[in-house]
A and B are shown apart, each in its own frame.
Chain A
Amino acid sequence: MIEVTSLTKVYSSAASTVTAVDDVSLRIDSGQIFGILGRSGAGKTTLMRCLTALERPTSGTVTIGELELTSLSGAELRRVRHTMGMIFQHFNLLASRTAAANVAFPLEVQGVPAAERKQRVAELLDLVGLSDRAGNYPAQLSGGQKQRVGIARALAAHPQVLFCDEATSALDPATTEQILDLIAEINRRTGVTVVLITHESEVVRRICSGAALMENGRIVEQGALLELLTAPRSRLADILLPVGEPANLGAESSVVLSFAQGHAQEPVISGLTRRFGVDVSILGGAVELIAGRKVGRLRVVISHPTGAFDRAGVDAYLAEHEVSVQA
């Protein structure tokens, strides 16, 4: 488990003071794929640099497993880092090493004997589907292949946490999907906790089970994704499953229905019209497969030809089908 408590990072120079991370507290359970979504400049990168101890926070603590990172010194910190893997937007592979030698790097650093190293490297290249590229240099690989080597390298030393820093932002959409699916598959197979930062909502939508939204250095929302999507006035829900703004749609009386408990495929709406004789007009909405569940949000206007209808009954019916209603 990763726990961040009141983390603040301030950069001061003679000219100005910038609070890149502002009093952030975060809890990431083991085995999760946790996404931190935010625009560039939101402080995601600084937050991740604090999580990997590349940056010392101004105040606050970062605890990974049992260890509090900010209290560790050089040698202890290097040992903790042996339990971390990280992949990067620009891959950061060593141009002077072949794919296999890049994957072997963390094993060399940890003093793993050569024979064992060789076997583990072969295993990893097979895992990421690049066995036939072992002898190629990064310059001879495509972006997607480079990131696969990056993933193999990050996993080499059996990390407990895999950090992904905008890992798919430099890749085309099809390659992005392949890499995300690979990360999800590795998470399933090895149980490694994945913490990723991204500005692409698609990344969170596709593989995350937990998420946080970051703005101006602060965490605005965080939690299990399925719960967030049905929470009232959730910003993340609006980003991941946009239903349009009521003012733009010319219907202030509209409500947002969120289906997150597996009922997205059930005919809840036609049931509603049959049972209560109401009209349901859909103004906007989205249905996506999120965290392995079909989740939908619809902006609708519920009305009745006579003007009045059994609103309490409608609410009860929707609640019974685990559909949440928000104004």
Chain B
Amino acid sequence: MIPSTSWQEALPELLRALGETAWMVGWSFLITAILGIAIGVLLRLWAPDGLAPNRFLYFAVGAVVNIARSLPFLILMIALISFTRLIVGTAYGPTAAVVPLAVGAIPFYARVVEAALREVASGKLEAAQVMGASTWGIVRKVLLPESLPGLVSGATLTLVTLIGYSTMAGVIGGGGVGDFAIRYGYQRFNGPVLVEAVIALIVIVQVVQSVGDWIVRGMGHLRG
């Protein structure tokens, strides 16, 4: 019988796994933030009560967003294997995991953005319109700055969700802390090392959430 790895011995490997998680979560978060805001803004503009109402686009894009959101992440990830291979060249490893992570998170964040933009009082938009602002000017100078606290707290939520999704990506060869936990905790029943991974995840999520909350609190004057 091989003696089981102690948590101290597993530490360097855990750190490498956390690095992989940071890589895939970092890139997918960046892509999600950019595309999620873009799609969220378009949905808000195209909505029946938006600044550029477009029934067809609103419902078409809305339907795609809903379909993507209704798939469990694990299924989405498997369904996207060929697509990932097309873009990254491989379906394995942390970089490949970025594709399904972003595809899974973009529709979620887009809806959060749309809801946050909806909170901006229509009177503020009308005030900007009467001052002769263009639609793009209103998006840039009114909609986005006024909804910043909602955008940031939504981004925090998305980031925590991405960390959770990333562990599932580990299951099909994405690497990272999920892969680490499966190998030690599930395949080798190494309790202490599993606990080590769990603690690391708890700490990371706490830090992410606290930083997000701290940024939103710093924007206190926006809630008035």
Chain A interfacial positions (CB closer than 8 Å to B): 52, 54, 78-82, 84-86, 88, 90, 92-97, 105-106, 108-110, 137-140, 153, 157, 163
What are 23 inter-chain pairs, A to B, with CB distance below 8 A? Answer: A54-B129, A81-B132, A84-B130, A85-B130, A86-B127, A88-B127, A90-B123, A92-B121, A92-B124, A92-B126, A93-B124, A94-B141, A95-B221, A95-B224, A96-B146, A96-B222, A97-B145, A106-B132, A110-B132, A137-B224, A139-B222, A139-B223, A140-B221
Q: Which of B131, B134, B146 has the most CB of A within 10 A?
A: B131
Given A95-B146, A109-B133, do A138 and B141 touch, yes or no (CB 8 Å)? no
Q: Are B129 and A108 in contact (CB under 8 A)?
A: no
| CB-based contact A81/B130 at 8 Å | yes
Main secondary structure of the interface of A (DSSP, over half): mixed
Contacts A137-B221, A137-B224, A139-B224 hold; do A94 and B131 have CB atoms under 8 A apart?
Answer: no
Interface residues of B (CB under 8 A from A): 121, 123-124, 126-134, 137, 141-142, 145-146, 148, 220-224
Contacts of A139 in B (CB 8 A): 220-224
Q: Are A81 and B131 in contact (CB under 8 A)?
A: yes
CB closest residue in chain A, given B146: A96
Docked-complex contact A78 and B130, CB < 8 angstroms: no
Query: Are A95 and B137 in contact, with the CB atoms below 8 A?
Result: no
Give the nearest-CB partner of A82 in chain B. B132
Counting from the closest, the 9 A-B pairs by CB-CB distance are: A139-B224, A81-B132, A96-B145, A137-B221, A92-B127, A106-B131, A92-B123, A78-B132, A86-B130
Are B130 and A95 in touch, CB under 8 angstroms? no
A96 to B126, CA, bound (A): 16
CB of A83, distance to nearest CB on chain B (Å):
9
**How far, in Å, is B177 (CB) from chain A's closest CB?**
37
Q: Which chain B residue has the least Cβ–Cβ distance from A54?
A: B126
Roughly how many angstroms separate A82 CA and B141 CA in the complex, as a whole number?
17
Chain B residues, Cβ within 8 Å of A84: 130
B126 to chain A: which residues have CB within 8 Å? 54, 92
Of chain A, the residue at the smallest CB distance from B134 is A78
- Residues of B within 8 Å of A78, CB to CB, are 132-134
CB contacts (< 8 Å) of A82 on chain B: these are 131-132
| Shortest Cβ gap from B21 to chain A (Å) | 34
Instruction: Give Cα A79–Cα B224 distance, bound, in whole angstroms.
Output: 31
CB distance from B57 to the nearest CB of A (A): 18
Q: Which residues of B contact A108 (CB under 8 A)?
A: 141
Q: Which B residues are in CB contact (< 8 Å) with A137? A: 221-222, 224
Closest-CB distance, B144 to chain A (whole angstroms): 9
Query: A138–B137 Cα gap in the complex (Å)?
Result: 21
Of A54, A80, A109, chain B has the most CB atoms within 10 Å of the CB of A109
CB-contact partner of B129 in A79, A81, A105, under 8 A: A81
Whether B124 pairs with A109 at a CB distance below 8 angstroms is no
Chain A residue nearest to B224 (CB atoms) is A139
